[in-house]
Amino acid sequence: MPLKRVVITGMGAISPFGRGVDILMNALLRGESGVRILPELADIRGIRTRVAALVPGVDPGEIPRKYRRSMSAMSVFAALAAGDAIAQGGLSGEQVRGGRFGVSIGSTIGSPRTTQAFFDDFRTDNSVERMKSGVFFQIMNHSCAANVAHMFGITGRTVAPAAACSTGSLAVGYGAEMISMGKQDFMLCGGADEFHPLTAATFDIMNAASTRFNESPGKTPRPFDRDRDGVVCAEGSGILLLESLDSALRRNAGILAEIVGFASTSDPESIANPNAANIAHCMRQALLDAGIGPEGIDYVNAHATGTELGDIAESEAIRSIFGDRVPTSSLKGNLGHAMAASGSIELEASVEMMRRETLLPTHNLDHVDPLCASVTHVRKVTPRRVDTVMKNNFALGGVNSSLIIRRFRQ
Amino acid sequence: MTNQQIIERIDRSIAEEFEIDPEEMKPEKTLFQDLGLDSLDIVDLVIVLETAFRFKIREEEGIRNIRTLGDIHAFVLQKKNELESNPR
């Protein structure tokens, strides 16, 4: 069975900079930080980090109540981003509802805010008498995917991959494979997450959350920097519209990029700590999938979250494959780590870097850690044409993912 | 609370919960067709009324016969009367 080529024809982003891919890119090009002090973290006993990158000023009111009632913040982010991706793709409602259109959108967990609200109420008198009908639809694992499918009348497949920080990339990769195999013509793909102190605490208790920049939030996280001290949690959603090249050409759609390679591998060495050899294995598998060698990659968009171990492991893995030839940067210095959304938001920025022929630097990379110095870091906004980009994500739980996108050519 | 105050409280609670234009809150309006509610909303409607009036109605047979906003008014007024004449 010949595999179909898969292209990206629409993108929507809800990020700590607001709504829209252009707003995201303008902030990244200006070197802005979405990280802020979150005063309420000071009220939580035992948590040391005080900063996060939250989505500002997104109005869920444009989503009709009938759909909004089953959405928590993460589904609102996903639905708005999905709508923007569909709009950019120029698809009509009939095309979206046509039966060959699916959804592959994941989150780390179901809504932590709704889960907390339910149990706060439940524990007051051990009663479910006040439980509203929308609770389950917000805390179920496929909440974002199902809500997006419901809102847009999508009748194809609904899948909700979940692999923490790799979720967004996995969702895109699996969606691309479904189109490639001819199972679907279109897929809305990506990740979404909403901030909750539980997420920050998860990293904090493992000494992997940033705690030394609580008074200067714009200075953290610091991927690859010698003074990095951990993750800053964020929220948002990145949703991409994928479709078969045949479909895109048939309807004369604007093609933003082609997805040419994808790999996901498990890392059984540790459920928490990344391993350079296993990361490299994932990247090599993606190259094999794309049918290209290391020389075919022009830029690596790193996962690099600003943790001590993760950044070193990824640097070693990149060096082991590419040497010091390929410019590399991480966008988490600007964006923080939006967990399930990080991969797809960063993929969108990577698509735009390719289109704009401009590489974005790693924000807060003032002094490269000698242990991360074996790769070529992008240190400032750099005009440069790149045609093929590798996007990495590595997750707690030991799930690695690498995507390869390419400038479209016939 | 007078009957009129009860009716106003019902209308206000439902309009807020389901984001309905207060002008639409007329007794003859049907819940499903006119006000756009569905079966999931009825689950929440019961909770809204139970919270507003501090009574339990989920198991009441009479709920199944409600079709219009006016039916809710009558149901709640009757329930309030019952509770006031047979306080527990």
Residues of chain A neighbouring B44 (CB-CB closer than 8 A) = 69, 132-134
Strand duo A236-244 + A299-301: pairing:
unpaired
Distance separating alpha carbons of residues A247 and A4, to the nearest angstrom:
10
B12: contact with A, CB 8 A cutoff: no
Q: Do B41 and A129 touch (CB under 8 A)?
A: no
Beta strand pairing status for A186-193 and A101-106?
Answer: parallel
Question: Do A46 and A63 touch, CB atoms closer than 8 A?
Answer: no
Cα angle value A219/A393/A308 (rounded, 5°): 45
Q: Name the pLDDT band for B83 (thresholds 50, 70, 90).
A: confident
Render the burial of A219-248: b for 16+ CB within 10 Å, e for the rest: bbbbbbbeebbbbbbbbbbbbbbbbbbebb
Give the sign of the dihedral formed by CA B56, CA B59, CA B62, CA B67: positive
**Mutate which: A129, A130, A147, vs B, most B CBs within 10 A:** A129
Is residue B87 predicted with pLDDT exceeding 70? no
Residues in chain A with CB shorter than 8 Å from the CB of B40 are 69, 133-134
Could you tell me if A124 lies within 8 Å of chain B, comparing CB atoms? no
The ipTM assigned to this model is 0.91
How far apart CA A394 and CA A316 sit, in angstroms, is: 14
pLDDT at A269: 87
* 3-state secondary structure (DSSP) of residue A56: coil
- Alpha carbon separation from B5 to B9, B12, B35 (Å, rounded): 6, 10, 21
Closest by CA to B49, choosing from B75, B70, B23, is B75
pLDDT band at residue B34 using 50, 70 and 90 as cut-offs: very high
Q: What are the pLDDT digits (tens) for A188-241?
A: 999 999 999 999 999 999 999 999 999 999 999 999 999 999 999 999 999 999
Provide, as residue numbers in chain B, all residues whose Cβ is less than 8 Å from the Cβ of A132: 43-44, 47
A253: left (phi over 0), alpha (psi -120 to 50) or beta: beta
Is residue A398 within 8 A of residue A366, CB to CB? The reply is no
Torsion of CA A15, A17, A19, A24, to 10 degrees: -80
Residue % of chain B over a pLDDT of 90: 84
Q: Which residue from A321, A347, A345, A322 is spatially nearest to A335, judged by alpha carbons?
A: A345
Which pTM was predicted? 0.96
Counted residue by residue, chain A has a size of: 410
B32 pLDDT more than 80: yes
Instruction: Inform me whether the C-beta atom of residue B40 falls under 8 Å from chain A C-beta atoms.
Output: yes
Q: If DSSP codes are grouped into helix, strand and coil, which group holds residue A231?
A: strand
State the smallest CA–CA distance between residue B19 and chain A in angstroms. 7
Query: How many contacts (CB atoms, under 8 Å) link A and B?
Result: 24
Q: Which tokens hold the place of A355?
A: 């289109």
Other C-beta atoms closer than 10 Å to the C-beta of B12 total 13
Q: Which two tokens stand for residue A277?
A: 């050899």
Counting Cβ atoms within 10 Å, is residue A44 exposed (0-12), middle (13-18) or buried (19+)?
middle
Q: What is the pLDDT of residue A142?
A: 98
A217: Cα separation from own chain's centroid: 21
Residue A54 has which token pair? 């939250």
DSSP letters for A80-124 = HHHHHHHHHHT--HHHHTSSSEEEEEE-SSS-HHHHHHHHHHHHH
Parallel/antiparallel/unpaired status of strands A236-244 and A186-193 = antiparallel
pLDDT band at B73 (very low <50, low <70, confident <90, very high): very high
Q: Flag if A130 and B47 touch (Cβ within 8 Å).
A: yes
Residue range A346-398, pLDDT digits in tens: 999 999 999 999 999 999 999 999 999 999 999 999 999 999 999 999 999 99
Q: What is the mean pLDDT of each run of 10 residues along chain A (410 residues)?
A: 92 98 98 97 96 95 96 98 98 95 98 97 96 96 98 98 96 98 98 97 96 98 98 98 98 98 94 92 98 98 96 98 97 98 98 98 98 97 98 94 96
A303 a catalytic residue: yes
Beta strands in A332-387, from DSSP E residues, in sequence order: 358-359, 376-377, 382-383
- The CA-atom distances, in angstroms, between A333 and each of A68, A127, A367, A394, B53 are 32, 44, 13, 16, 52
Gyration radius (Cα) of chain B, Å: 12
Nearest to A355 by CA among A391, A390, A386: A386
Confirm or reject contact between A133 and chain B (CB < 8 A). yes
d(CA A218, CA A200): 17
Q: Rounded distance, CA A205 to CA A230, Å?
A: 12
- Is B58 within 8 Å of A132 when comparing Cβ atoms? no
Conformational region of residue A397, where left means phi above 0, alpha means psi within -120 to 50, and beta covers everything else: left
Work out the average pLDDT over B18-39.
Answer: 97
Q: Closest partner residue to B44 among A66, A129, A132, by Cβ?
A: A132
